[in-house]
C-alpha cells in the first residue's frame, strides 16, 4: 500500500495496522491496511480485505452509537479509508469485559482475583459471564506491550481527572451495552472490547475503530450455555484464533521468539474469518471494494476539499 502526501498535511504516522495522516492539525485521514498484528508484533503477511472489513464495521458501529457520545468520524470516502476529527487522545484504552475470557481468564486461572483494581468473583469458569460488565483499562503504549492499570492509578498519574474518568467509564459501559444489543440481534455475544477516547476542547470524543474483530471478541450465542456446561471451547469470531495459532507455534512476542511462517492456506483462512465476522455482525453480504491507490487518493482529496481548513 502506497504512502500518500496530501495538501496541508502536517503529520504522518504508520501504526501496526493503519497509516494516519494529519491535515491542518485538525483532521485525520486513517487508511486501514491489510497488515495484521498480534502480541504487539506485525505479522509478516497481509490479510486480503482485512482493512476494508475493519474500516466498514467501525463506520457502521460509530454510526449506530452516535447518540451515546460524540465520535471522531466524518466520512468514509473509500472502502479502507476514514476521515474525521483530530482529538488529543487519553493515553489509556478502556477495556470492557462481559465474560471471563482471554487475558482476564489467564489472570484468573493463575490464582489472582483482582484485575486493574476490580475484584473478580470466586468460582468462575472460563468464558462465564461476569455478574455485570467490568472495565479493565490499560495504558496506551507508544511501543511494546500495553500494561494493565487501575482507575486510581489513572487519576493519580494524571492520565485522566476523576471527572473525566467518570465520563469515560459511563460512555464505555453504554457503548458496550449497545454493542451487545447489536450483536444479540445477529446471534452473537459481544464478549469484550476496547474503546479509545480523546478530547477537543472540553468535549470527550470516541476515537478509532469500535466493535471490530481487532478490538473485540465475539462468541456465537447458539449453544453457548451447552458448551459452558460441558466445559467445551466456545465458538468465537475474533482475532483470538490468530493468537492461539501463534502460541501453538511457539510465538508470544517474547524476546528470542521467531514469528512462524504463514502458509497461503492460513492467510486465506484468516481473510475468510474476517469476512465471516463482517457478514455476521453487519448482516449483509461482504462486497470486495478494492480500488487502486490513484482512485483512493482522488476520493480522499475530494472529501478533504469539503472541510473548512
**Angle, vertex CA 172, rays to CA 272 and CA 234, nearest 5:** 40
Q: Tell me the sheet residues that pair with 31.
A: 19, 81
Lowest mean pLDDT among 130-134, 167-171, 281-285: 281-285
Confidence at 146, pLDDT banded by 50, 70, 90: confident
Contact (CB, 8 A) for 77 and 302? yes
Q: pLDDT tens digits for 24-76?
A: 999 999 999 999 998 888 999 999 999 999 999 999 999 999 999 999 999 99
Domain architecture of the chain: domains with CATH: 90-238 (3.30.470.20)
What's the pLDDT at 309? Answer: 61
What's the pLDDT at 80? Answer: 95
Cell numbers linked to 113? 482475583
Lowest mean pLDDT among 123-132, 187-196, 250-259: 250-259
Place of cell 478494492: 290
Q: Work out the average pLDDT over 190-206.
A: 97
Q: Work out the average pLDDT over 234-242.
A: 84
What's the pLDDT at 141? Answer: 67
C-alpha span between 241 and 32 (Å, rounded): 21
What's the pLDDT at 140? Answer: 79
pTM for this entry:
0.91
Amino acid at each position: 500500500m502506497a504512502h500518500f502526501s496530501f495538501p496541508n498535511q502536517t503529520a504522518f504516522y504508520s501504526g501496526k495496522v493503519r497509516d494516519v495522516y494529519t491535515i491542518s492539525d485538525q483532521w485525520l485521514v486513517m487508511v486501514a491496511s491489510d497488515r495484521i498484528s498480534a502480541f504487539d508484533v506485525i505479522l509478516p503477511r497481509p490479510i486480503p480485505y482485512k482493512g476494508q472489513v475493519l474500516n466498514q464495521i467501525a463506520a457502521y458501529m460509530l454510526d449506530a452509537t452516535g447518540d451515546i457520545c460524540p465520535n471522531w468520524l466524518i466520512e468514509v470516502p473509500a472502502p479502507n479509508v476514514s476521515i474525521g476529527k483530530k482529538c488529543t487522545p487519553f493515553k489509556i484504552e478502556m477495556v470492557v469485559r462481559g465474560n471471563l475470557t482471554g487475558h482476564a481468564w489467564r489472570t484468573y486461572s493463575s490464582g489472582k482475583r483482582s484485575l486493574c483494581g476490580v475484584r473478580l468473583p470466586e468460582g468462575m469458569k472460563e468464558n462465564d459471564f461476569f455478574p455485570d460488565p467490568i472495565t479493565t483499562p490499560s495504558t496506551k503504549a507508544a511501543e511494546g506491550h500495553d500494561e494493565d492499570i487501575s482507575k486510581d492509578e489513572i487519576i493519580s498519574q494524571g492520565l485522566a481527572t476523576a471527572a473525566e474518568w467518570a465520563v469515560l467509564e459511563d460512555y464505555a459501559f453504554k457503548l458496550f451495552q449497545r454493542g451487545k444489543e447489536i450483536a444479540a440481534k445477529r446471534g452473537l455475544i459481544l464478549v469484550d472490547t476496547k474503546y479509545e477516547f480523546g478530547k477537543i476542547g472540553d468535549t470527550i470524543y470516541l476515537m478509532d475503530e469500535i466493535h471490530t474483530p481487532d478490538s473485540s471478541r465475539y462468541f456465537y450465542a447458539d449453544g453457548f450455555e451447552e458448551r459452558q456446561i460441558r466445559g467445551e471451547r466456545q465458538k468465537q469470531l475474533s482475532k483470538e484464533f490468530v493468537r492461539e495459532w501463534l502460541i501453538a507455534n511457539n510465538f508470544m512476542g517474547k524476546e528470542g521468539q521467531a514469528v512462524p511462517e504463514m502458509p497461503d492456506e492460513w492467510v486465506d483462512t484468516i481473510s475468510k474469518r474476517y469476512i465471516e465476522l463482517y457478514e455476521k455482525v453487519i448482516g449483509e453480504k461482504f462486497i470486495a471494494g478494492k480500488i487502486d491507490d490513484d482512485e483512493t487518493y482522488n476520493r480522499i482529496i475530494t472529501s478533504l476539499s469539503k472541510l473548512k481548513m
